[in-house]
């Protein structure tokens, strides 16, 4: 391939030469066997590369299109309900709507707590202000009241079970999402956290898959799964953002698929009907998400080794 025209042969077969150059090279081809051979070889290579067919089942293409279009829809919906990024930065009606939803959810959360929890949390507040009173004016009538009250206070927690901290998932207030979560989910090694997260999510989804349905005379019991999903959903949001920021498409996409499922489980009612559980299960099965979580958590763990 020593002929000075050989490079031009490449441009010739691409139609990138000017008419004058084309004529010149074509004339040269008539007399140079080396260049003619090069042209034939280049064209043969072209036919090899052009005949390459992508491995692309039709179902994959349809699924991809559906996913892209539904992602666009979901984005719109999440913006309206304040579940996405935008609600933090949103203005006007969007922010007000989000706050209203948050307020309602907080109200529901505290309304569902046992009443004595409120007594427990508010009772200690006046105690310090009462304490100096006997020293300043030792009125005997105050003492019985105080001891009675103290007795009541000290007894209350013994009779009352420890209040549960795990509230149903609510939408975080602006700023809270970032202020509260990083302590838990922003570790030195995001990959380790992601691997662990995938493992936990996988266990959760397996447990959810095994929840018993169609049991006569008993409601579906999903309190454990719901609580676990509540714990995982925030971590999922954070890891997804980290993956997106790092350009990790595969992990980001998997976390994105996982998130609505976690949210749905987290927001199941106390006694969900069979259909609600079944719908979520079907989605889990359809997305084949348990297998994907397993594969990715194993692969991440191996990569970390």
Partner 1 sequence: MASQDDEFTMLFQDFYPSLCRFLECLLGGRAPLAQDLAQESFLQLHRTAWGTLPPDEARFWLYRVARNLAINEFRKSNTRYRLFDRVVEAMRPAARNPEQEYETRERKELVLEMLQTLPEDQRAALLLREQEQLSYREIGQVLNISESKVKVDIFRARAALRERWSKRVKVAGASVS
Q: Taking the complex as a whole, how short is the minimal distance between the CB of residue 239 and partner 1, in angstroms?
A: 15
Using left for φ > 0, alpha for ψ between -120 and 50, and beta otherwise, residue 217 falls in: left
Name the 3-class secondary structure at 139. coil
The contacts of residue 110 (CB under 8 Å, 6+ apart) are: 118
Largest Cα–Cα separation, the chain: 125
Minimum CB distance to partner 1 smaller for 51 or for 218: 51
How far apart, in whole angstroms, are the C-alpha atoms of residue 221 and residue 196? 26
CB of 75 to partner 1, least distance (A): 7
**Cβ 192 to partner 1 shortest distance, Å:** 14
Write the DSSP symbol of residue 218. Answer: S
Residues 6+ apart with CB under 8 A from 262: 201, 204, 229, 232, 233, 236
Whichever of 14 and 215 has its CB closer to partner 1, that residue is 14
* Whether 198 contacts 297, CB under 8 Å: yes
Least separation in angstroms between CB 25 and partner 1: 13
Place of tokens 């293409």: 61
Euclidean distance between CA atoms 95 and 82, whole angstroms: 8
Report the C-alpha gap between 248 and 291 in whole angstroms: 19
> Which of residues 138 and 247 has its CB atom nearest to partner 1 in the complex?
247
Count the neighbouring beta carbons within 10 Å of the beta carbon of residue 97: 15
Q: Is 230 helix (H, G, I), strand (E, B) or coil?
A: helix
Of 225 and 242, nearer to partner 1 (C-beta) is 242
Q: How far is CA 181 from CA 88, 170, 172, 235, in A?
A: 15, 14, 10, 7
Closest distance between partner 1 and the C-beta of residue 225, in Å? 26
* Of residues 76 and 271, the one with the C-beta less far from partner 1: 76
**CA terminus-to-terminus distance, the chain:** 48
CB of 14 to partner 1, least distance (A): 6
Select 48 or 122, whichever has its Cβ closest to partner 1.
48
Residue at token pair 């105050």? 142
> Interface with partner 1 by CB under 8 A: which residues?
1, 6-7, 10-11, 14, 16, 38, 41-42, 45-46, 48-56, 60-61, 64-65, 67-69, 71-72, 75, 247-250, 253, 291, 295-296, 298-300, 302-303
Q: Least distance (Å) from partner 1 to the CB of residue 7?
A: 5
Using the minimum distance from each CB to partner 1, give the nearer residue, 68 or 136: 68
Of the candidates 168, 189, 172, the residue with the CA atom closest to the CA atom of residue 181: 172
- Cβ of residue 205: shortest distance to partner 1, in angstroms? 17
| Cβ closest to partner 1, residue 48 vs residue 91 | 48
């Amino acid at each position: 391939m020593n002929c000075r025209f050989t490079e031009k042969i490449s441009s010739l077969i691409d139609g990138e030469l000017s008419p004058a150059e084309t004529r010149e090279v074509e004339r040269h081809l008539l007399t140079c066997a080396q260049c003619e051979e090069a042209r034939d070889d280049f064209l043969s290579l072209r036919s090899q590369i052009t005949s390459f067919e992508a491995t692309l089942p039709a179902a994959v293409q349809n699924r991809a299109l559906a996913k892209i279009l539904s992602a666009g829809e979901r984005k719109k919906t999440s913006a309206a309900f304040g579940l996405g990024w935008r609600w933090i930065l949103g203005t006007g009606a969007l922010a007000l709507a989000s706050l209203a939803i948050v307020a309602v959810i907080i109200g529901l959360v505290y309304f569902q707590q046992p009443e004595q929890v409120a007594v427990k949390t508010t009772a200690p507040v006046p105690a310090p202000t009462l304490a100096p009173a006997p020293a300043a004016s030792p009125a005997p009538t105050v003492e019985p009241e105080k001891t009675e009250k103290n007795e009541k206070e000290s007894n209350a927690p013994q009779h009352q079970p420890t209040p549960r901290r795990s509230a149903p998932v609510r939408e975080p207030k602006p700023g809270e999402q970032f202020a509260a979560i990083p302590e838990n989910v922003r570790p030195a090694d995001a990959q380790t956290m992601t691997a662990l997260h995938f493992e936990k999510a996988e266990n959760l989804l397996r447990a959810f898959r095994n929840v018993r349905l169609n049991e006569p005379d008993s409601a579906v019991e999903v309190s454990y799964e719901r609580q676990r999903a509540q714990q995982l959903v925030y971590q999922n949001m954070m890891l997804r953002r980290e993956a997106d920021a790092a350009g990790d498409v595969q992990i980001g996409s998997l976390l994105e698929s996982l998130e609505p499922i976690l949210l749905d489980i987290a927001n199941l009612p106390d006694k969900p009907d069979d259909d609600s559980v079944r719908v979520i299960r079907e989605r889990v099965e359809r997305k084949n998400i348990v297998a994907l979580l397993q594969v990715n958590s194993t692969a991440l763990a191996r990569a970390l080794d």
